[in-house]
Structure 1
Amino acid sequence: MAESFIFSIAESLAAKLASRAYQEASRLVGVYDDLQELKSSLSYVKAVLLDAEQKQEQNHELREWLKQIKLIFYDAENFLDEVDCETLSKQVVRDYGTPKDKVGRFFSSSNPLVFRYKLGHQIKEIKKRLDRVAADRNKFGLQVIDVDRRAVHRREMTYSHVVESKVVGREHDKEIIMKLLMEPSLDDNGGPKHISVIPIVGIGGLGKTTLARLVYSDKRVTESFPLKMWVNVPDDFNVRSLIIKIINSPSDFASSTDAPAGQQNLRDIEIEQLQHRLRNMLEGQKFLLVLDDVWNEDRVKWVALQDLISVGAQGSKVIVTTRSQSIASMMGTVAYSHHLESLSPEDSLRLFVRWAFKEGEEGKYPDLIMIAREIVEKCKGVPLAVRTLASSLFFKHERQEWESLRDKEIWNLPQKEDDILPALKLSYDEMPSHLRQCFALLSLYPKNRVLLISSFQVASLWGAAGLLPLRSKDKTMVDVAHQYLSDLMARSFLHDVIDCSTFYMFDIHDLVHDLAVYVAKDVCRLVSSNTQDISENVLHLSFVENGLSYNSIKTSLRGARSILFPVHKEGASEAFLNAWVLNCTYLRYLI
């Protein structure tokens, strides 16, 4: 999964090489021309990385090609760090002098001629490796894509039907939404509101669509809203596509004599005629419109659609399901956004039993039910996670199989397209690349803990990893880190957030943490006494236990860039710390 970061690394390298400060630094140490050649090679590879990232899932050889590039990029980053250090060293010598003997310095690596030769050789070697790998790009049929607008694979289209008796633990949530639908909505002046928008918000797999289905299918809703429409929202919130979907949605309208000939024909109609049909269909009607799975944050498009459907009768309602609080705030017109909570342990177990056994069969296996209680703990009340794990045990009644699943991390389990990890990963894939990397580094903090992290700490970690833009006139790195944290909160990746002005206190849902571990497994690692086989390419290490032996340090881990001790009152001995710091030549962050 770390190969999804390659484009971001390439962008960071390119930005650094192109910056005025770095060009001046490269001139100072005498490697400007060499770095310009490296920049040219980097641009050649970077042009096809976005396409390669999208195609790697189906092509093992392409994944290996990206891994080679990733390692070259890491070496390039380390090399540029050396240039930074040498530049700072020269500035110190220039400003303060040095007590070293000048003759001794002539024969040392501090001699500008020696250092320039060394750097020049390193640049040429990196460029040679990069050119050699880049030469293979044509055999993969990769296209040049300059801007990160990758298409995200969405889940299948949803539908409105639901068997209420098979839904567990959402009775209270349903009644909250029903009350909002049935009661009149008032505007800021106390008058009746024409159309109200009710958002349902939560992480992937929590059951937002299921809750909307329960409400949509309720007899009280059918009696109160003569016109009901269920629409899967396109990724880009294309207004034309939405108009067509809304027109074709109500079954009673589709069967009338005025119904359009079909969706295919509607696609050929001009937008002016389409909006006229939509307004004729809705005018004077009290309707309920469900917009399921909204991702796009373009307020202009939402306002355009809202204006078109505002011809409905007073009391019309819109239900929006989304993973993003910012979308809920943008679209919602009621003061209340319904944040869907996790299922209780009891409801989670009831749901698990339904998916793991045939009806009534669970009574035969009391020992498996005891293990099921422990498995349900892993799901943290997320229905899709419960279903994912329970379904994998259907028709399996051996205690050993259940215990094996109980002891595995969710991200190590096989996952089908509609299981929990792919559902959560949709939110990850939808994020811009800089947020993906920042989110991945949150895997360095252990699960099951409330994290008290100051914005300065986050800025230091992300900044040391090269994930924050260079300081600008109007924003510091802490300001940018604040914004990134806010973006992650808005996307439901952080919860139980307390804003303390200068820092945030927040928690990470266990399943979201599992996702972070999954996407960062090649570059981040939590280390305990049970940890084995740390990849030599790991860049960020988080030690979560006291008393770890420094004798176990591998020299192959000398490329580590971050070392954390995130657990309160658990740190390192002086011998352990000294050994790691001496070993890790490119260490950027230590806390």
Structure 2
Amino acid sequence: MAEALISVLLEQLASIIQKTKQEVRLVVDVKKEVAKLTSNFKAIQVVLENAEERQMKEVDVRYWLDSLKDVSYEMDDVLDEWSTEILKQHIQKEEAGNASSTSTTKKVCFYILAPWFCFGQVSQVILRRDIAMKIKQLNERLALIASERQNYNFQYMKRGIEEIERQKSSSFVDKTFGRVDEKEILVKKLLSVSGQGGATCLVIPIIGMGGIGKTTLAQLAYKSKSSGRGWPRQKIKIAKAIIDGLKKGNSPASNELQILLQFIHESVKGKKFFLVLDDVWNQDYRKWEQLKLPLQNGAMGSRILVTTRKEEVARMVGASTDMINLKVLREENCWVLFYHIALADREKNESKGLEFIGKEIVKKCKGLSLAAKALGGLMRYKETRKQWEDVLNSKISNVDEIEEQVFQPLLLSYYDLTPTIKRCLLYCVIFPKDYNIVKDELIELWMTQNFLNSIINKEKEAVCEMYFDNLVMRSFFQEFEKDDLGNITGCKMHDVMHDFLQFLTENECFVLEAEGGNNNKTIMEFNGDNKVRHLTLMFAPEGPLIPSSLCNSKITSFGRELISQVKCLRTLNLSRNSLEKVPNEVGELAHLRYFDLSYNVGLMKLPDTVCNLINLQTLRLISCWALERLPEGMGKLINLQHLHVMNCYNLKLPKEIARLTSLRTLEYIRIHGDDDVDNNKEALFELSDLINMDQLRGSFLIEFKKDLKDARQAEKAHLVNKNCLVSLELSFFSDMWQSNPIHEETLNALQPFPNLESLSILRYNSTILQPHWMTSLNKLRSLQLL
């Protein structure tokens, strides 16, 4: 986690220094402090890989990393405060320019409750001095942490994943439980006539998360074969292991890879062999080709079995069609495995009395065979019922044997990720166990956490998609939900993987669950010395959300007291509650990027102070049925990229939305007729206001509440320029007492981009449906006319 944090911070430092050259002059010496800060972070960064590896076994190293993370998080807030100051000055100049172009001259100032947000010169100087002082103080703490690294003799040399210590495996297997279907599939593939594309040797990959049983399945197959065998791991070792398995006399003593490969090439000529490559990580095709070419000299029917956690490896070996994707064990098989280790050797009466507790313990494993083995080995030496109950009532991450035997293999998967992807993965611990993670929501959350600081906005979403796919292919997610086209839309995380991530983010991420009305935990626990950075609150209290006892119900309001405690909040999710009002003080959350108020069906309006959240990137208001209007000043939210208003049936968007030309998500707009506009209120968003919103992507619904009297409004919308839209739905106004003579003209003017994949036209009452652009939709896969 620290490695990922520091990588992002160094990018932020470089970025903000570049901005300040033109935008802000801070107090004297701040540049010197920033230079020191950058130097200290870089000095620490080179030893972090070794430190994060050692934290599993060395408590003092873990404490050192915790101190580093504390400073890093605080520095992240200070840099964000600095960036916000730069952004506000930019908006101030823009607003001042607009004001000076009018006949009335007046001082331009944001309406906000916090006094330092006003852009008078005195306020700016005070704020800049505060930022400079914070940087200096944090730098002093960081310098001390940097010097302390010498005490731990960290290794400076970065090591590859193949060199990290891992549990050794062999070709021997005792008993197996379950995996009958998988074994049958594997045996059929091993006995099949030919390899991929008629190749001499068939390559069969077995993939799955760490500890799921890939090696055990490979051992079963290995045991049943009688040809030349090997159980190697890497490069020269692989070549030598293959030679040893061939039991060929006069084997070369050389360590030259080419000599070894040549010997293999000659030795396997015309012979059938069976080779197992266990726990393969490297996806470099050139290295695979080096090994594969000599083996092609073998006889037809030769087989190579590859176990891996990475789908990229299966693709690299060219065997994706023969891939076996291993799932978790069924609970009954997991129980039999546990019983075999923990209870089989006990007296019948003794084991019977512990079976009920044992089955409850096994549920913690969620089908992960390695966890069942580790817990079985632990319980084998627990004699009393009290000892068994203690393990049952403990978190799995608090059991030492699990930490050592189960988390250690999972660390290998974690270390194989880049720093930024590590941070994205660790963020997933904010979701409760067994939570259905929606892919698009997760990607928006990643983007709002500033994990991709150095990447421009247009590319961030594509990069996050790539990160998500990367985690999928490395078996960090499971139980996928897919759309009609086979694209993953949602997933879950295995409970043991969730426990592992909680272990890595101990004291940083917390899921607080109130069970019933007698829970005495309070939100106040997370202030003071507590270092929680992400808090997921389940079963929140009825009434105001303030530091108070929790009970199993829903919140109806939150106010100044809570907001004063969470000023550095980046994400605030208050969806699916009973909120009727959002307090003005919400505008003080200057760091806020993600605000979710979805499914608060009684919420009627948002305060004007929401427009002060200039860092806000995502605002979710899905199914806020009573919501009627958004604030007039929405145009100030220049960083807003995702505005979710689907199923807000009474919502009238203000015209200011048209200024948000960076919007990428706006799934739904309602177009009101002229007679539906209240002249005493602000102007409403019109169809023509879409003219410059060409970044819109995904699905888009336009609902007409009245007939358009002027089809030129539709022409000005320039839907044909919205080249990122995948799905378009047009819902026309329908009145059984009136004809709709201009529908055809309007429909022609609503020409979408030719790459559209889905089109729905609702309540189109004309007898003719022949828009001139219909034949240009050459990628259309779905067409609905209702």
Same fold per TM (> 0.5)? yes
How does the TM-score come out when normalised to structure 1? 0.84
How many positions carry a matched residue from both structures?
Answer: 553
Task: Provide the residue aligned with 2:275 in structure 1.
Answer: 289
Which of the residues 477, 480, 489 maps onto 1:497?
Answer: 480
In the TM superposition, residue 342 of structure 1 has moved relative to its aligned partner by 1.9
Deviations 1:142-185 (A, max 9, x none): 5656x78677633232111223xx21112322221111111212
Offset, 1:347: 1.4
SS in 2 for 1:68: helix
Please state which structure has a larger fraction of its residues in helix: 1
**Which secondary structure does the structure 1 equivalent of 2:381 belong to?**
coil
* Alignment check: 8 A CA contact 1:541 1:563 kept: no
The residue number in structure 1 matching 2:137 is 125
Between the aligned partners of 1:77 and 1:330, the Cα distance in structure 2 is 39
Which residue of structure 2 aligns with residue 68 of structure 1?
Answer: 67
CA distance in 2 between counterparts of 1:339 and 1:418 reads 26
Asked if the contact 2:511–2:538 (Cα under 8 Å) also holds between the matched residues in 1, the reply is yes
Kept in 1: contact 2:338–2:362 (CA 8 A): yes
Moved more, 415-424 or 316-325: 415-424
Aligned residue number for residue 558 of structure 1: 566
Query: Quick one: which amino acid aligns to residue 466 of structure 1?
Result: N
Deviation at 1:322, TM superposition (A): 0.6
Conserved 8 A contact 1:563-1:589:
yes
Is 1:200 aligned to 2:225, yes or no?
Answer: no
Contact 2:480 / 2:489 at 8 angstroms: preserved in 1?
A: yes
Aligned counterpart in structure 2 of residue 113 of structure 1, from 122, 125, 128: 125
DSSP 3-state at the match of 1:419: helix
Matched, 1:467 2:451: yes
- 1:590 aligns to 2:586 (yes or no): no
Q: Which of 26, 32, 42 matches 1:46? A: 42
Structure-1 residue corresponding to 2:251: 260
Distance 1:579 1:386 in 2: 52
1:464-506 per-position Cα deviation (integer Å, ceiling 9, x unaligned): 3221243338x52111110010000000011233454887211
Is the 1:50–1:150 contact (alpha carbons within 8 Å) kept by the matching residues of 2? no
User: CA contact under 8 A between 1:362 and 1:369: conserved in structure 2?
Assistant: no
2:82 is aligned to 83
**What secondary structure sits across from 2:47 in the alignment?**
helix
How far apart, CA to CA, are the structure 2 residues paired with 1:213 and 1:453? 36
Answering whether residue 262 of structure 2 is matched by residue 273 of structure 1, we say: no
Residue 159 (1) aligns with residue 144 (2): no
Tell me, in whole angstroms, the C-alpha distance in 1 between the residues paired with 2:420 and 2:395.
26
Which AA in structure 1 matches 2:217? L
Which amino acid is 1:207 matched to? G
Match of 2:640 in 1: none
TM-score by length of 2: 0.64
Matches within 5 A, 1:96-495: 96-97=95-96, 111-142=123-154, 144=156, 153-163=164-174, 166-185=175-194, 187-188=196-197, 192-218=198-224, 221-222=225-226, 226-231=227-232, 233-234=233-234, 238=235, 240-250=236-246, 253=247, 258-260=249-251, 265-267=253-255, 270-333=256-319, 335-359=321-345, 361-415=347-401, 419-454=405-440, 457-472=441-456, 476-495=459-478
Secondary structure of 2:312's partner?
helix
Partner in structure 2 of residue 30 of structure 1: 25
The one-letter code matched in structure 2 to 1:508 is M
**CA 1:336–1:461: 2 relative to 1, 3 Å:** same
Shift of 1:26: 5.5
Instruction: Tell me the CA shift for residue 559 of structure 1.
Output: 6.2
1:516-558 per-residue CA deviation (whole Å, 9 max, x = no partner) reads 2222223211122255644632211222223265223889963
SS, match of residue 401 in structure 2: coil
Distance 1:510 1:305, change over 3 A: same
Cα distance in 1 for residues equivalent to 2:394 and 2:331:
20
Taking a change above 3 Å as real, the CA distance of residues 354 and 84 of structure 1, as seen in their structure-2 partners, is same
Cα displacement string for residues 373-392 of structure 1 (whole angstroms, at most 9, x for unaligned residues): 21111111111111111221
1:256-315 deviations in whole A, cap 9, x for unaligned? 5x1437xxx443xx3332222111221111000000110111111111211121111111
Higher RCO structure, 1 or 2 (CA under 8 Å, sep 6+): 1
Structure with bigger gyration radius:
2
Q: Partners in 1 of 2:352 and 2:584 — Cα distance?
A: 51
Residues 543 and 564, structure 1, Cα contact 8 Å, conserved in 2 = no
Matched position secondary structure for 2:276: strand
SS at match of 2:193: coil
Task: Sort the Cα spacing of 1:483 and 1:358 in 2 relative to 1 into closer, same or farther, 3 A.
Answer: same
Q: Which string of whole-angstrom CA distances, capped at 9 and with x for unpartnered residues, describes residues 404-438 of structure 1?
A: 22222211211267622222222112222211111
Q: Confirm or deny that 1:544 pairs with 2:538.
A: yes
